[in-house]
Amino acid sequence: MQPVELSSVEIVTAIRQGDVSAERVVTAFLDRIARLDGSINAFLVVDREGALAKAAEIDRRRKSGQPLGPLAGLPVAVKDVLCTADLPTTCASKMLAGFRPPYDADVVARLRRADAVIVGKTNMDEFAMGGSNENSAFGPVHNPWDLDRAPGGSSGGSAAAVAADMAPATLGSDTGGSIRQPAGLCGITGLKPTYGRVSRRGLIAFASSLDQVGPMCRSAADCGLLMETIAGHDPGDATSLDTAVPPYTQLLDQPLAGLRIGRVAAHFAAGLDTEVARGVEEAFAVFKAAGATIHDVELPHARYGVPTYYLVAPCEAASNLARYDGAHYGHRCGPASGGKSAGDGATAFDSPLVEMYCHSRAEGFGPEVKRRIMLGTYALSAGYYDAYYAKALRVRHLIRQDYLDAFATVDVIGGPVSATPAFRLGEKTGDPLAMYLVDMYTVSTNLAGIAGISFPCGFTRSGLPVGFQLQGPALSEPLLLRAADRFQHLTEWHRRRPAGCSV
C-alpha cells in the first residue's frame, strides 16, 4: 500500500519496524498536499523543509538504534489556532497575519517530544468563530467530497486535510462543535475531550470555559493514539486536570455487550434531514446488533443550548479579543485624521490613540468576529448583564444537570452531529442564525464540559458523509473511543475516500 493509504497506527508501526522510512512517508503526504491543496485550501502554511529534516533525523536515529517517540515519523497537521514557535500562527485572521509566537503550545510541544512530524498549519474560521470555514481571511476550505460544499468549521482545514489524505492526523479545537461537526461533514473521526483533559496553554482563546483541543483522524484507533500523547496534566494551564492518562489504544478491543446508549427523541424532530436520520438510525441498529442496548432519555434544556452558547461564547470572546488593539497585540494602522486637539471640543473618542484602536480592529477583524464581539459586549454591558449573561450561566447549569441525570441511567448518548449533510458554500453566509443552528447538536457538550466523538455512519444518495455522535460523562474518552472503534470494526464507512482525491 502507498503511505497515504495507511492509518496513523499503521504508519508508526511500519516506521518503527523499518518497513518504511519516515522520509518516504512524509514525502508522500507533502507531495499529496502539493497536488491537491490548490483546490481544497486546507493549509495556510506547509513546512516542507522542516518536515523532511525531521523525518531524516528520525530515520538516522532508528538506524543507529536510538530510542524513538511513540509517534515517530507520523505526519501531523495543526490547526492555526495553536502556537508554533517555528511557523506563523494567524488564527486565519488579518489581525495576526505573519505573527510568529515565541513558544509552542503545550500540545505542539508534546507532539514534538513524541517525534511526530508537523507538516503545516491548517485553515480555519477566523479565531475559530464559524461553522463552515468561510470566515477565514485567507479563503474558504472546500469539502473534498464535493468542492462546492463547506467542510464545516471551525476546524474545517484539519478535517479536509484528513478526508483528502493530505495528513493522517490533525489537531483541531472544539468550542461548540468545531471538531465534531467538520468531522461529520467530511467523513472522518473527531474527538472532543473532556474540558481540562488536554492542555489549552498556547491555544489562542476564543471562549476560555468552552475551548478544548482534540484529535481528528481517519479512525477512533488513530484518535486514541494521538490522545496518548496530547492528553495529560499541564501545570501551566490552571484548568488542566491532574489525572492519569489511560492507555487508550490498549482499551479498544472489548465487546459492546451491556453498553447502554441513550437516544433523545427530540433529536429526530422536524429539521433533521431524512437521509441523516436514516444513517443515524442505522448506526443505532449496528450498536444494538453488537450487544448494546438503546434507551430513551431526555435532555429537557437542550433546546436552549444554541441561545445559551451564543451568549456565553461571545461574552468570553469579547473579553479575550480585547487585547488585539493594535498597541499591545495584532494588526496596527495609523489614525485617519490624527484626532482633535485639546480645546477643540475633543472627547476621549477623538484621541489619536483611540482612533488607532478603532481603525486597527476594524481592519484586522472580519465580519463574524466583529459580530460576536458586539454581541458579547452588549450582553456584558451595564443593565443587560443580569438579563443575558447571568441568565445564560444559570441555563448552562441546567444543561449540565440534564446530562448528569441522563448518565445515571445510560453510559453514553448517541445521535446526529449535524442536521444536514455538508451544505453548499455561500448557502448560509447571509443568514447568521441559520449558520448558528448548524451547532444545535454539539454546543451542549461544551456547555456541560463533557466528552464527545463524531464518526461516519453512512452516506447520502449524492455521496455526502453522514456523521454519528456519541457523548459521554467527564473523562469517558476510553469508553467513547472503544464504542466508536467497535462500530468501525463492524462497518466500512470510515474507509471510504472522496473520488476526486483517489490515490
Q: Which of 93, 136, 173, 178 is catalytic?
A: 178
User: How far apart are alpha carbons 485 and 453 in whole angstroms?
Assistant: 11
Contacts of 399 (CB under 8 A, 6+ apart): 299, 301, 302, 304, 305, 308, 444, 447, 448
Q: How far apart are CA 12 and CA 113, in angstroms?
A: 15
Please confirm, yes or no, whether 154 is among the known catalytic residues: yes
Residue that has been written with the C-alpha cell 452588549 in this structure: 378
φ, ψ for residue 348 (rounded to 5)? -60, -30
| Strand, helix or coil for residue 223 | helix
Which one is catalytic: 21, 93, 154, 454? 154
Q: Active site residue: 7, 8, 21, 79, which one?
A: 79
The amino acid that residue 183 corresponds to is A
Residue with cell 467513547: 480
Grid cell 445510560 — which residue?
410
Where along the chain do its domains lie?
Answer: 3-253+492-501, 327-364
pLDDT in tens, 14-41: 999 999 999 999 999 999 999 999 999 9
DSSP H/E element including 495:
none
CB atoms within 10 A of CB 48: 15
Per residue of the chain (503 residues), what is the pLDDT tens digit?
Answer: 799 999 999 999 999 999 999 999 999 999 999 999 999 999 999 999 999 999 999 999 999 999 999 999 999 999 999 999 999 999 999 999 989 999 999 999 999 999 999 999 999 999 999 999 999 999 999 999 999 999 999 999 999 999 999 999 999 999 999 999 999 999 999 999 999 999 999 999 999 999 999 999 999 999 999 999 999 999 999 999 999 999 999 999 889 999 999 999 999 987 899 999 999 999 999 999 999 999 999 999 999 999 999 999 999 999 999 999 888 778 888 655 444 433 455 455 567 778 887 888 889 899 999 999 999 999 999 999 999 999 999 999 999 999 999 999 999 999 999 999 999 999 999 998 899 999 999 999 999 999 999 999 999 999 999 999 999 999 999 999 999 999 999 999 999 999 877 66
Q: Is the CATH code 3.90.1300.10 the one for domain 3-253+492-501?
A: yes
Q: Decide if 356 contacts 332 (C-beta within 8 A).
A: yes
Residue 107 is placed in which grid cell?
Answer: 500540545
Known catalytic residue: 158?
no
Tens digit of each residue's pLDDT (9 = 90 or more) over 398-445: 999 999 999 999 999 999 999 999 999 999 999 988 999 999 999 999
pLDDT at residue 347, rounded to an integer? 52
The C-alpha atoms of residue 465 and residue 455 are separated, in whole angstroms, by 10
Entry pTM: 0.95
Q: SS3 of 160, please?
A: helix
Instruction: Return d(Cα 454, Cα 65) in angstroms, integer.
Output: 39
Residues 189 and 169: their CA atoms lie apart, in Å, by 10
CA quadruple 163, 168, 172, 174: dihedral, nearest 10:
60
What DSSP string describes 385-454? TIIIIIHHHHHHHHHHHHHHHHTTT-SEEEEES-SSSPPBTTSSTT-HHHHHGGGTTTHHHHHHT-EEEE
